[in-house]
């Protein structure tokens, strides 16, 4: 059994780390970032699900893990391919890597807020260039924060102060997303943000329904209830896509891939896993991308598709190297070498 250390980071940005050990049947050392108001990856704020086992709260009200490595412990199902490495945790389906070289010295969220107040676009461009893995979570804090303000007023009218707070959060998020798209040449940041800002009340509720569907998928995967997990993952993606919620869509796709892999449908699992990988790459969520690549690799190994499996193994080594995780690098290197 491996010790998985969760590094908790305050919702306002990096505030140091606090380790928490979680014993897993198999796993890899990963880092988890705390997101400000959600219960699971991308949240299940509106659901009755409690925090994951091993959840490390911070001093932020309602703080909860933004993401943790994919779905569950290895399957006991004989149809399931037996990979050399299964770094999946049942607590959630995705991981977003937050590079530490910049964030250990600078509170990226606080710096972003400060630079927006100063309208310092050049400094924000430099901030995004130095910390690309924090772009999405930094912007998303404003988006989720604005949604929380709206939700808190349900049953009553929004006060002027609430409307002003939502407007400020929306404008700051849009400003940051436009600059992020300029810096990275990835339209997904402004598309995701502008979609979120423009949601109707019905669409906001649909967003939360998608998060709840993801929660059901997570629980079903933990119980190895593959059919239920697949249906919930499909619901999550189906709800997310019309909203422009690319993060939620990727989560649902990841759940579908894991469910299909659990059922032994390895070829079918490649479709959602491949799509999830591309979305995570665009979103800058390197750890989540690595999770999708590992799912692809496991399926490809089982299918005997050597060339594509080798390409995935090489990508996994590169991604794990970027995470500075020597154990993962070693494991994926062994899988890569076995394919040569």
Domain boundaries, the chain: 2-102+202-339, 106-201
Q: How far is CA 243 from CA 46, 190, 194, 238, 288, in A?
A: 18, 13, 10, 9, 21
Contact by Cβ (8 Å): 309, 6? no
Contact by Cβ (8 Å): 143, 190? no
Contact by Cβ (8 Å): 88, 70? yes
Nearest to 292 by CA among 265, 310, 319: 319
> Which pLDDT does position 106 carry in this prediction?
77
Contacts of 48 (CB under 8 A, 6+ apart): none
Nearest to 53 by CA among 37, 36, 32: 32
List the structure tokens of 334. Answer: 């062994």
> Which pLDDT does position 35 carry in this prediction?
28
Sole residue written with tokens 């400003």: 175
> Which pLDDT does position 197 carry in this prediction?
98
Angle, alpha carbons 288-38-228 (nearest 5°)? 65
Contacts of 199 (CB under 8 A, 6+ apart): 207, 243
> Which pLDDT does position 105 carry in this prediction?
61
> Which pLDDT does position 157 carry in this prediction?
85
Give the DSSP letter of residue 106. S
Separation of alpha carbons 162 and 154, rounded Å = 12
pLDDT tens for the chain, 340 residues long, are: 233 322 222 233 332 322 222 222 233 222 222 222 233 335 433 222 222 222 222 222 232 223 322 322 223 332 333 333 344 333 334 343 334 334 456 799 999 999 999 999 999 999 999 999 999 999 999 999 999 999 998 767 889 999 999 999 999 999 999 999 999 999 999 999 999 999 999 999 999 999 999 999 999 999 999 999 999 999 999 999 999 999 999 999 999 999 999 999 999 999 999 999 999 999 999 999 999 999 999 999 999 999 999 999 999 999 999 999 999 999 999 999 999 9
Phi then psi dihedrals of residue 99, to 5 deg: -55, 140
- 2-102+202-339 classified as CATH 1.25.40.10: yes
> Which pLDDT does position 44 carry in this prediction?
31
Q: How far is CA 77 from CA 74, 80, 226, 261, in A?
A: 9, 5, 11, 10
Contact by Cβ (8 Å): 274, 256? no
Nearest to 142 by CA among 123, 161, 160, 116: 116
> Which pLDDT does position 156 carry in this prediction?
74
Nearest to 322 by CA among 26, 19, 125, 30: 30
Alpha helices in the chain (DSSP H): 100-103, 108-117, 121-130, 135-152, 160-184, 188-197, 201-222, 226-240, 246-262, 266-283, 286-303, 306-322, 326-339
């Amino acid at each position: 059994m491996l010790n998985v250390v969760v590094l908790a980071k305050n919702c306002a940005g990096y505030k140091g780390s606090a380790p928490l050990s979680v014993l897993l049947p198999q796993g890899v050392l990963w880092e988890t970032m705390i997101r400000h108001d959600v219960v699971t990856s991308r949240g299940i704020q509106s659901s009755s699900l409690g925090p994951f086992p091993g959840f490390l709260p911070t001093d932020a009200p309602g703080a909860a893990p933004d993401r943790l490595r994919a779905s569950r412990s290895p399957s006991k199902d004989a149809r399931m391919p037996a990979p050399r490495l299964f770094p999946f945790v049942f607590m959630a389906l995705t991981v977003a890597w937050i590079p530490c070289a910049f964030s250990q010295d600078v509170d990226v969220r606080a710096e972003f807020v400060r630079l927006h107040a100063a309208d310092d676009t050049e400094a924000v461009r430099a901030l995004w260039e130095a910390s690309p893995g924090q772009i999405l979570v930094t912007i998303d804090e404003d988006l989720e924060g604005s949604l929380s303000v709206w939700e808190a007023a349900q049953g009553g009218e929004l006060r002027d102060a609430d409307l002003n707070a939502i407007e400020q959060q929306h404008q700051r998020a849009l400003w940051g997303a436009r600059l992020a798209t300029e810096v990275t040449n990835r339209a997904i940041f402004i598309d995701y943000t502008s979609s979120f800002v423009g949601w109707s009340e019905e669409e906001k509720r649909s967003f939360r329904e998608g998060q709840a569907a993801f929660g059901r998928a997570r629980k079903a995967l933990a119980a190895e209830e593959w059919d239920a997990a697949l249906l919930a993952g499909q619901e999550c993606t189906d709800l997310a896509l019309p909203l422009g919620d690319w993060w939620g869509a990727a989560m649902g796709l990841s759940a579908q891939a894991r469910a299909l892999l659990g059922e032994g449908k390895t070829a079918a699992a490649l479709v959602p896993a491949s799509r999830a990988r591309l979305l995570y790459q665009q979103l800058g969520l390197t750890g989540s991308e690595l999770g999708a690549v590992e799912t692809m690799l496991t399926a490809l190994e089982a299918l005997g598709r050597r060339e594509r499996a080798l390409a995935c193994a090489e990508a996994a080594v590169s991604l794990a190297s970027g995470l500075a995780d020597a154990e993962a690098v070693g494991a994926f290197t062994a899988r890569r070498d076995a394919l040569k």
